[in-house]
Structure 1
Amino acid sequence: MHVAPVGGTAVQDHVALAEIELCGDLIIAASAAHEDRLSLESIDEVLKVAEERADERGAEE
């Protein structure tokens, strides 16, 4: 078992931090929603799926 050293050495997992931030954004959106559930379109908007796809298409050209 590997244990992180005690002290000032902080290891950051940027992918995990980004996933936590996205989960937080979804929780905030869900709590503000007026319906029982978020629509798939709302979830995509919160997660910025369309922006990511546009960025990918721009990188391919």
Structure 2
Amino acid sequence: MTPAGGMSVQDHVALAEIELCGELIIAASAAAEDRLSQDRIDEVLMSVCP
């Protein structure tokens, strides 16, 4: 997003949430089961946000 003044604006919280969602989507697509267990979700999230 570029405001009229030409400066770049970033929402770091939103970017972090998008990264977490992306990691969960990747883990879910690689999983053999239909749903990720709570333990697996925790594992994925902890690997991104130690």
TMscore range, shorter length: 0.7 to 0.9
> Where do 5+ consecutive residues of structure 2 fail to align?
none
- Scaled by the length of structure 2, what TM-score is found? 0.80
Choose the corresponding residue for 2:20, options 15, 22, 39.
22
Q: TM-score, normalised by structure 1?
A: 0.67
Q: CA RMSD in A?
A: 2.1
What letter corresponds to residue 3 of structure 2 in structure 1?
P
Rg larger in structure = 1
Alignment of 1:1-61 (within 5 A): 5-6=3-4, 8-48=6-46, 52=50
Specify every segment of 5 or more residues in structure 1 that has no aligned partner in the other structure, as ranges: 53-61
* Equivalent in the alignment of 1:58: none
